[in-house]
A and B are shown apart, each in its own frame.
Chain A
Amino acid sequence: MEGKPVLHYFKARGRMESIRWFLAAAGVEFEEKFIETAEDLNKLKNDGSLMFKQVPMVEIDGMKLVQTRAILNYLSTKYNLYGKDTKERVLIDMYTEGVADVNEMMIRLPVCPRDQKEATIAKIKEKTTVHFLPAFEKVLSHGQDYLLGSKLCRADIHLVEILHYVEELDPSLLANYPLLRALKARVSNLPGLKKFLQPGGQRQPPTDEKMLEEARKVFKF
């Protein structure tokens, strides 16, 4: 019997959140082992569990997978959300990488120095409105339910996750993108995601100053 995937990370969004979103949307139950102390982290680093001594790490199918993209590539293939052929896969890859560029900025925002925060937020807003949102709205102008057409794929999940973060940053940013708002509603209502996003679900809250202060004390950075 196959066990559930086990996620090893801090109790925070960071680089694990996109993996949580994906598994939830794919309807895959998962366990989490939260790294809560410096000792927890050192244990993982020293027992050979982490290829590059870094998390995220996901235990699945007898492997200890690291590197967010490698993990998501494996999961997407395993759960059939990576398209049906090479042409679909490369399209999915391009969409996914575009989302990852924006997600990278979102991930770094909580740890950005206070005096740079406003400038960083402005940069995020610029990138999303100039490069990112228009591109995806245009893709959806084909009038079908999902980015690739009638079938859900990983890129829809990754994109909708980011749309949630964009909305958290500034709801008005999504005002001019009706097709993206429709995709967001459609994907967020998938049974697995609906549960994930409700109170008590496995989604992590935004990283705020208090969480960061606690983490700094515990992990001494």
Chain B
Amino acid sequence: MMASKPKLHYPNGRGRMESVRWVLAAAGVEFDEDFLETKEQLQKLQDGNHLLFQQVPMVEIDGMKLVQTRSILHYIADKHHLFGKDLKERTLIDMYVEGTLDLLELIIMHPFLKPDDQQKEVVIMAQKAIIRYFPVFEKVLRGHGQRFLVGNQLSLADIILLQTILALEEKIPNILSAFPHLQEFTVKISNIPTIKKFLEPGSKKKPPPDDIYVRTVYNVFMP
């Protein structure tokens, strides 16, 4: 019996599902998407007991209905060998991913801030990236001289960091100017065939959030 493709349930936009799209794509896994456009669609998922905590993201995969972004990411990473070779590597990957997700969270929330606060927040994001997060990863890459952050092979840490760097570059084009190793990292990881394909037009990568996306989110999730 052929395994069916994973199916993603979420609005048609980045939000909390985009990391899942990145990791599936990087692992070379094709997937389907059921876009949430109305409150009624969300209600239907909730009433049908498809959502453990009545929330999305939800991913149907391997006979399960997985919720909670990190749970989904960890499951896919485990399945596709993106979590290091042992507990020590796994823990390092975990720490890097958690730090990066803290930064990505600011990007995810940004479209939903008041317009007056949005410009201020871009400055805060840039500061956090440049002062707290990028120096760590720059040092790691400079230290071992390898292509990947951990264990000389692609992991969840590389994928989530690349996602975050590219999202930040959309708002702050020169954000990597002081980080030559991260610049090199960005080029090298982007050129991995599965990721290169995901970065090309026509892929399932979603565009930056716009007014339509914000309105859809309010329509679907606001009581």
Contact = CB atoms under 8 A, between A and B. Distances in A.
Interface of A: 51-54, 63, 65-70, 73-74, 77-78, 86-87, 89-90, 93-94, 96-98, 101, 130-132, 135
A68 B88 CA distance: 16
Given A52-B136, A93-B70, A63 B91 contact: yes
B61 to A, nearest CB: 10
A199 to B, nearest CB: 34
A155 B52 CA distance: 15
Interface residues of B, number: 28
A208 to B, nearest CB: 27
A85 to B, nearest CB: 10
A61 B185 CA distance: 30
Interface string B60-80: 000010111111001100110
Contacts of A78: 87
Given A52-B132, A53-B132, A90-B66, A67 B98 contact: yes
Interface of B: 52-55, 64, 66-71, 74-75, 78-79, 87-88, 90-91, 94-95, 97-99, 102, 132-133, 136
**Is chain A's interface secondary structure helix, strand, loop, or mixed overall?**
helix
13 contacts: A63-B88, A67-B99, A69-B70, A70-B97, A70-B98, A77-B87, A86-B79, A93-B75, A94-B71, A97-B67, A97-B70, A98-B68, A131-B55
A90 B70 contact: no
Most buried by A among B74, B90, B95, B98: B95
Contacts of B88: 63
Contacts of B91: 63, 65, 70, 73-74
Contact of B74 (A52, A63, A66, A93): A93
A87 B75 CA distance: 9
